[in-house]
Structure 1
Amino acid sequence: MSTKDNTSLNLPVENPEAEDFLPLLGTDHVELYVGNAKQAAHYYMSAWGFQPEAYAGLETGLKDRVSYVLRQDKIRLVLTSPLKPGGDINRHIERHGDGVKAIALWVDDARKSFEETVKRGAEPYLEPEIREDDNGKVTLSGIHTYGETVHIFVERSGYDGPFMPGYRAWEPHYRAEPTGLKYIDHMVGNVGWNEMNKWCEFYAKVMGFAQLISFDDKDISTEYTALMSKVMSNGNGRIKFPINEPAEGRKKSQIEEYIEFYNGAGVQHMALATDNIIKTVSDLRDRGVEFLRVPATYYEDVLDRVGEIDEKLEPLRDLGILIDRDEEGYLLQIFTKPILDRPTLFIEIIQRKGARSFGKGNFKALFEAIEREQESRGTL
């Protein structure tokens, strides 16, 4: 079934175990509820190189909220803030702080996507609705997933305006240079104790995903903490959702810290892909983005572990970029410190040189670096 559906859309099948009955064409956008959308937009433009795309607010007829839409290549962020007291957005921000509310998925039939997932057990969030203006129409629908996170299905083949109906083009004078970010490689969800399998089964049953890889507490553990993770993927491999849960350790793990400060399950990080990680990370660092650092000793034997790579080791060492290899190639990756006041959401920068894995060989060094940050916050 997945082969037939993907072939008809000229989409390669990367995960043949996935049923892929929707199918999903890619990530349309990620919406974050934030306390101050205007200032958050300036941060993502100035520090990350996102470009202004669209705006909705009082000037477009909205009375209760405002949204700024930013884009860099295939990555689109929607930053939404409330304009009045009360309501779901204020409640969400009070409970969770700034965070991801919606992972919107690009589909060719939003109504069918809603019907197929709901009949398989998804809880409805948004009944199918058509939004229309002079530039065409967009059909939207949505379902709940872990925590208060939702998936919005977006059908936009008949629309050629800015973002979607209800928005207007946003054209400020200020535009920062892009930093080479290309697309969302994967998005990671943190869930509570013993909930990982429940949500992996949700993605398998409700959305037709299949497990790509799994890690247990033997793979992801340090002297103090541990976690477990499974990676769920759709058939064409464009949507990958690792799901993490805590595992028993001597001290509080990063997953427990996240759940404590986020007050429940939610999106832990977005992994953004680049074709030149050295330039991207150099630009981001120069603009004030802070990254986790592993000890210098990591680089003493890393090439013995991963073998020959195209890049010179010195700039990777200078920037703190990690290297790992699997049977199909290698990858380069680095993780920011939390980008919010609460130690919740962070961003990964990743460049794949053939590898399809997620950096298993870096886990110990990475999580020890995270623990050093936790210790400085007094939450380890």
Structure 2
Amino acid sequence: MNDMKPLEIKKIFENAQDFLPLNGTDYIELYVGNAKQAAYYYKSAFGFQTIAYSGLETGNMDTVSYVLNQGKIRLVLTSSLVADSPINAHVNKHGDGVKVIALWVDDATKSWEETTRRGAKSVFEPKTEKDADGYTVRSAIHTYGETIHVFVERSHYKGVFLPGFQPMVDANNPSPIGLKYVDHMVGNVPLGNMGIWCDFYAEVMGFTQLVSFDDKDISTEYTALMSKVMSNGNGRIKFPINEPAEGKKKSQIEEYIHFYNGAGVQHIAVATDNIIETVTALRQRGVEFLHVPEIYYDTVLERVGTIDEDLEPLRDLNILIDRDDEGYLLQIFTKPVVDRPTLFFEIIQRKGAQSFGKGNFKALFEAMEREQELRGTL
């Protein structure tokens, strides 16, 4: 990791209070049952590269972590090496899932002070960690469910990841597939909790609400949900928050909360500059995607207008299209990447659009319902 100096990043959403400057997503840490095998999956299927490691060989007797990188995305896959541990308790309760959404900041101490002063519950106070490559400062607060935000200050560190990790170059590093950065991360919360957590991001972290979707926007014959999208001022951190709405059958949000045993990260949206190439590679590597009916493509160009891409490759790959006032976007959603019907990924390419694919909601949620029906959970 190169020395990361504080940045001057333009504020694009004026309604954000922005008392907590955020430079971007630093890393996403998943607690998993078997980090070695999980790392192999994300490398082989998604094209991530191993860059760092912590475990018995580095003097860590309690946990093992593999750090994977692609573009500006860092995934940390962590398992416990001891029987009685919070990590094992987390995996037992939730299955493999996101524990840490780490945010890159210029000042981890100030970030902790500002958020806890405004009501955030502390996970740990600012702590300095050192090795031969310099030092980092990290602090952490709780958010929805058992998910936490870790503030990472690394301007005085030139190591590969964090102190305590050693560089790791694996002979088995499959080629990247064009993933660039984290576009947004979606949280699912129980009924009645969406407003609570949107208020948290507004009041505790200085975010603003970009858009709101109600059950008229996101509904099918059987299920519905509501969602609000929160963003920091520079737009680099976007957190849609979903909650279920009343419907005839169990919605995907209710299914998630049942199997995850509470609130948590539903999906990670990752950006690409060429979704056709990226999704082609993912399919070749065995990644499974939700499927929308062929009829979707009969009228999609009437709805979204002219696009740069030929429609046929998008149809063949089942990639969805939507347009807003700023441009259009291309998106597709994987099936769950874990055994429980919880965590999945979205692949997105923005061609100017700043929205989240509202025009695709009905087709997408009907596809999700078909998967729920196969699982017997609708």
SS in 1 for 2:23: strand
Matched residue, 1:371: 369
Matched residue, 1:160: 158
AA matched with 1:351? Q
* 1:38-67 deviation digits (Å, cap 9, x = unpaired): 000000111000011100001111111100
Q: What is the 5 A alignment of 1:116-127?
A: 116-127=114-125
Matched residue, 1:5: none
- Measure the CA separation in 2 of the matches of 1:16 and 1:231: 15
- Measure the CA separation in 1 of the matches of 2:26 and 2:55: 21
TM-fit CA distance, 1:9: 4.0
Matched residue, 1:195: 193
Taking only the aligned residue pairs, the percentage that are identical comes to 71
SS in 1 for 2:295: helix
AA matched with 2:72? K
Matched residue, 1:181: 179
AA matched with 2:112? F
SS in 2 for 1:338: coil
SS in 1 for 2:204: helix
CA RMSD after TM alignment: 0.7
AA matched with 1:370? M
SS in 2 for 1:126: strand
TM-fit CA distance, 1:111: 0.3
AA matched with 2:258? E
Matched residue, 2:338: 340
TM-fit CA distance, 1:87: 1.4
TM-fit CA distance, 1:10: 2.8
How many residues are matched? 373
- Measure the CA separation in 2 of the matches of 1:117 and 1:248: 34
TM-score by length of structure 1 reads: 0.98
TM-fit CA distance, 1:22: 1.4
Structure 2 residue runs of 5 or longer lacking an equivalent are 1-5
AA matched with 2:142? H
* 1:110-157 deviation digits (Å, cap 9, x = unpaired): 000000000000000011000001100010000000000000000001
Matched residue, 2:140: 142
Task: Check if 1:12 corresponds to 2:10.
Answer: yes
- Measure the CA separation in 2 of the matches of 1:378 and 1:201: 35
Which of 208, 212, 233 matches 2:206?
A: 208
Q: What is the 5 A alignment of 1:252-271?
A: 252-271=250-269
- Measure the CA separation in 1 of the matches of 2:8 and 2:329: 26
TM-fit CA distance, 1:14: 1.8
* 1:345-371 deviation digits (Å, cap 9, x = unpaired): 000000000000000000000000000
- Measure the CA separation in 2 of the matches of 1:175 and 1:93: 26
- Measure the CA separation in 1 of the matches of 2:268 and 2:340: 16
AA matched with 1:91? A
Task: Check if 1:114 corresponds to 2:118.
Answer: no
- Measure the CA separation in 2 of the matches of 1:156 and 1:97: 31
Task: Check if 1:40 corresponds to 2:38.
Answer: yes
Matched residue, 2:222: 224
Q: Which runs of 4+ in 1 moved over 4 A?
A: none
AA matched with 1:222? T
Matched residue, 1:62: 60
AA matched with 1:291? F
- Measure the CA separation in 2 of the matches of 1:10 and 1:173: 38
* 1:16-37 deviation digits (Å, cap 9, x = unpaired): 1001111000000000000000
TM-score by length of structure 2 reads: 0.98
- Measure the CA separation in 2 of the matches of 1:56 and 1:9: 29
